[in-house]
Structure 1
Amino acid sequence: MGLDRGSDLPLYQQVAAHLRNQILDGRLAAGTRLAGSRLLAAELGCSRAIVLTAFDLLYSEGYLRSVPRGGVEVAAIARPSGRGAPQPEAGTEGEWVSEAWRSVLDTGYEFDPASPFSPGTPDISEFPFDVWSRLLRQTWGNPASSACIDMPPLGWRPLREATAEYLGTVRGLLCQPDEVAITSASSGALNLCSRMLLNPGDEVWVEEPGFIEARWSLRAAGAKLVPVPVDDKGLIVAEGIRRAPRAKLAVVTPSHQFPLGIPMALERRQELLEWANRQGSWIIEDDYNSEFRHRGSMTASLKSLDRSGRVIYLGTFSKVMFPSLRIGYLVAGPRFIEAFGRGRARIDVHPAGTAQLALARFLRDGHLLRYLRRMRKVYADRQAAVLNAVERLMGADVEVMSQRAGLHLTVLFRPAMTARISDREVSRRSRGTGHFVQPLSQCYLGEPDRQGLVLGYGRLRAEEAFPHLSALAGLIGPAT
């Protein structure tokens, strides 16, 4: 063996590890006498003290024993035979991964956050990192001991307070800090809610088409997913009742349906709440990107209509600030929040605390509100540029869905376009070109009844819209 003097592992531990592995592999059988410490040290080019320290470590672990006249030999130990259960190998997950998780791992899904058409990805080049870094330095220059040692499972109290104020200002959602939990983005909240609320086999309504990543947490919890179609008024509640009247949970995006962008009509919201109240079911409202409204008045959240505590409201700062922040929030009744906190404490203790202190200041000092006001104009201009390019390049072939809010829009293929090429073929052609685009049909659980493309524009500057859309249109080919 050779000693690596550049390694962080001390030399005596390197010697011990080498001998230990030879013993466990059977290359040094029980009773084998080892070379003397001086000879071994000379062979390794190290001091005798290093070898003796390695021997001492292996003595204490039971791998070596002393023999008369100062010799050292390998002790008799029970070694793994290697004839037990086969070790997991790539491609054999079905033998050892749970059935629920296997359905998640086997889900075909393609996503490229670096693509200019990545839906929901904000433009981090516009974010005020100078302000953010200053707040990080200030809050962690001399932090409270509780922030370092005893961060609450529900999140830093000042951040819960600031989030409640933020939601009242930005979304018109009036809530108290005791109704707010800080989470690991909205996906972390959905994951824990799924595990807390659902038993294996429970039915869950999901929008069709819908947000694929939300389905992963539900499937991992053992839920039976029931796709409920969406029309121009949002989720068709009557169809959900027909398919699964006793579903335990419904997961919806009522303010800005993903991927179609349609807001849920008031009568549908009332139907959904009435069903949940009647059945004692739960509703999870994912209010992603509702801060970015481009036209029309603000759509009230479903949670603001809830009078029975059946709606659990999810949101995230990651999509409006920068994705790796991984901080979101959950709003629900105090009893649910208390149970959520106890459940969180038993799984991973609390959300990562490093950024929570700075985020509380970022909110309280008004930095996020100023940033949102500026970015609404930026993203509205980008959406307008994309719409103009789509009309010029694909106008006869596609229908553009609702454009009221968010960082993406969906274009539906007209029949002539669908006859010529599938959305999955367009997506396949876009791989590796720097213009990857998600196909709408990927968002269906069942057989897609519509095809189209999900076009993000958060990272697409207005002047870049036509060149990028032109390159995408070139992959599709001219109409025949």
Structure 2
Amino acid sequence: MVQRRSQRFQFDTLEIDRDASQPLHRQLESQLREAIRSGRLRPGEKLPSTRGLCNQLQIARNTVAAAYEQLLAEGYLEAEIGSGTRVSQQLPEQTAPSSVAKKPSPKTSRRGLAKRAEEVDRYADWAPRTITTPLPFRPHTPAIDQFPRDIWQRLADRRIRRLPRLTYLGVDPAGYPPLRSAIAAYLGASRGVACSAEQIIVTSGVQQGLELIARLLLDPGDSFWLEQPGYSPAWHAFTAHGAVGVPVPVDEQGIDVAAGERLCPRPKLAYVTPSVQWPAAVTMSLPRRMQLLEWAEQSDAWIIEDDYVGEFRFAARPQQALAAIDPHGSVIYLGTFSKVLFPGMRLGYLVVPEPLVRAFATSRWLADRHSPVFEQATLTDFIEEGHFARHLRRMRKLYAARQAAMFTALETSFGSAMEFQRNEAGLHVVAKASDSRQNRRLQRAADEAGVEYHLVDQYSASAGKTPGMILGFAAFNEQQIAEAAQAWADRFFA
């Protein structure tokens, strides 16, 4: 008797939990990966189209597309024009060399990851494996279509012809000296930060700056303050080095210093985003800034100021940085070009007190020697020839208009069903409903409409207790903003 072939996989049995903290595309991705590994989804079996699966599961099409793209990148799926997406005939585990695939005996092998890797692995889901086109209202995304690529191309072409031959061998680990001078001059004029070029450490974005800070300023067991809710990747970088995080609440004036002193009076450092708090988008008041600086001096603690979008204040002139009014040398300042120019640049910088320069430059050398010389030299010309300042002025005007369009669209589409703060700075808005049930409805409607967002809860140490959705507007024009808000509202009120 011929054995009947097993029944095809039933995709409508996949479970999507909209109340879980894990993003929907990660849930779908992990379930499909497990089904392939277990053999329930067989090699060569065809998957539904993104449109078909999103209809079956009642989720957004871009959620399905993101899961498919990740599994394609990992080798679990393959796609051909005209034949759709299928399970790969040869899975990644099958193509691995046998010497790697063979499991070592736990009694004899000492190979393996260090204990710290267990801490790092907790944050694996935060690291994106694929880059997708942003949809309204993805946060953290500038208007890359407005970047003057023609000017950058011209500068890059000129630089590749004129870059001194010696720089092909490398540069100072702290950064290309002319770029450090250009950054110091810009900070003095625009952000009020008086510093020398020698105090500038060029990094591969803010995240590498946080990694250097964790390595050099925090020993295992040291405590640190971080705003609650706050920028979780800073928490990740510090706790991965064995430090102990203390979430400190934020109010309308910024981090609550008095609450921090009650929770942990003498941490090694405090990480803050005073110009535009992430994610609450409040600006730290001057009295609160002075209180924080005084506390740092009395407690012998460092303040880490992340000024990620301090240039984008729309109602008035950008405020001076915290480092500009620091009389004690307690502030280490972080800046980035990834948010103000384009994320793929991966160039940022630290401003460190002079006694720390040697240690930070040496640690930068140990990490990866230095950032690419060519990009540093091109950016130097972009700044020194005035293109950077002109681009910032243009973007400040554009983002102000897009922020106003966002406020109008949300108010017009949702009325009193949605609450949001009309902040005067930053590139995002935090929105929420009146109660937890309505908040869940907002999230479901956004998923169904294909609206991208981050949950405030993702950046909170108290999971499930901090309502709100973070909505970015910088990358989208007024029409895209209005249409996305209306599509979202249509599903919310349906």
State TM-score, norm by structure 1: 0.76
The answer to which of 205-214 and 290-299 deviates more is 290-299
Give the superposition deviation at 1:96: 6.9
Letter of the 1:394 counterpart: F
Identical residues among aligned pairs (%): 37
How far apart, CA to CA, are the structure 1 residues paired with 2:414 and 2:327? Answer: 45
Give, in whole Å, the separation in 2 of the partners of 1:83 and 1:298. 57
Counterpart among 200, 217, 228 of residue 220 in structure 2: 200
* Per-residue deviation, residues 285-336 of structure 1 (Å, max 9, x unmatched): 0001111121133222111111221110001011111100000111121221
Q: Which position in structure 1 is the counterpart of 2:473?
A: 457
**Deviations, residues 167-199 of structure 1 (Å, cap 9, x unaligned):** 122222222211211111111111111111111
Check 1:254–1:124 CA distance in 2 against 1; reply closer, same or farther (3 A cut).
same
Question: Which amino acid in the other structure matches residue 273 of structure 1?
Answer: L
Q: Distance in 2 between matches of 1:81 and 1:261?
A: 48
Where does residue 155 of structure 1 map in the other structure? 175
Match of 2:492 among 443, 454, 476: 476
Task: Give the secondary-structure state (helix, strand or coil) at the position aligned to 2:335.
Answer: strand
Q: What SS does the corresponding residue of 1:250 show, helix, strand or coil? A: strand
The answer (yes or no) to whether the contact 2:191–2:324 under 8 Å persists in 1 is no
Per-residue deviation, 1:449: 4.3
Alignment of 1:110-189 (within 5 A): 114-189=134-209
Q: Following TM superposition, by how much is the alpha carbon of 1:86 offset from its aligned partner in structure 2, in angstroms?
A: 6.1
Most deviating of 103-112 and 261-270:
103-112
Counterpart residue type for residue 303 of structure 1: A
What does 1:300-449 align with in structure 2 at a 5 Å threshold? 300-415=320-435, 418-422=436-440, 426-427=442-443, 430-431=446-447, 433-449=449-465
Change (3 A) 1:239 1:82: same
TM-superposed deviation, 1:226: 0.8
Q: Which residue of 2 aligns with 1:9?
A: none
* Aligned residue in 1 for 2:68: none
Conserved? CA contact 2:138–2:473, under 8 Å: yes
* Structure label with greater radius of gyration: 1
Shift of 1:83: 7.1
Paired residue secondary structure (1:148): helix
Contact 1:127 1:321 in 2 (8 A): yes
Task: Give the aligned partner of residue 47 of structure 2.
Answer: none
The aligned runs of 1:203-352 (5 Å cut-off) are 203-352=223-372
For the residues of structure 1 that align with 2:340 and 2:125, how far apart are their CA atoms? 30
Query: How far 1:137 moved relative to its partner?
Result: 1.2
Q: Secondary structure of 2:416's partner? A: coil
Maintained 8 Å contact 1:204/1:223? yes
In structure 1, distance between residues paired with 2:403 and 2:165: 46
Per-residue CA distance 1:341-374 (angstroms, 9 max, x = gap): 0111122111222200000000000001111111
Q: Which runs of 5+ in 2 are unaligned?
A: 1-98
**TM-score with structure 2 length normalisation?**
0.74
Q: CA deviation at 1:447?
A: 4.2
| Residues 160 and 263 of structure 1: CA distance in aligned 2, closer, same or farther (over 3 Å) | same
Instruction: Please say which of residues 215-224 and 365-374 is displaced more in the overlay.
Output: 215-224
**1:195/1:221 contact within 8 Å kept:** yes
Instruction: Tell me the SS of whatever aligns to 1:336.
Output: helix
Say if 1:167 and 1:173, in contact at 8 Å, map to a contact too.
Answer: yes
Count of matched residue pairs: 391
Distance 1:246 1:112 in 2: 43
The Cα offsets for residues 400-443 of structure 1, whole Å up to 9 and x where unpaired, read as: 2242112111123323xx33343xx6445544854211122222
**Residues 82, 383 of structure 1: CA spacing in aligned structure 2 closer, same or farther, 3 A cutoff?**
closer
RMSD: 2.7
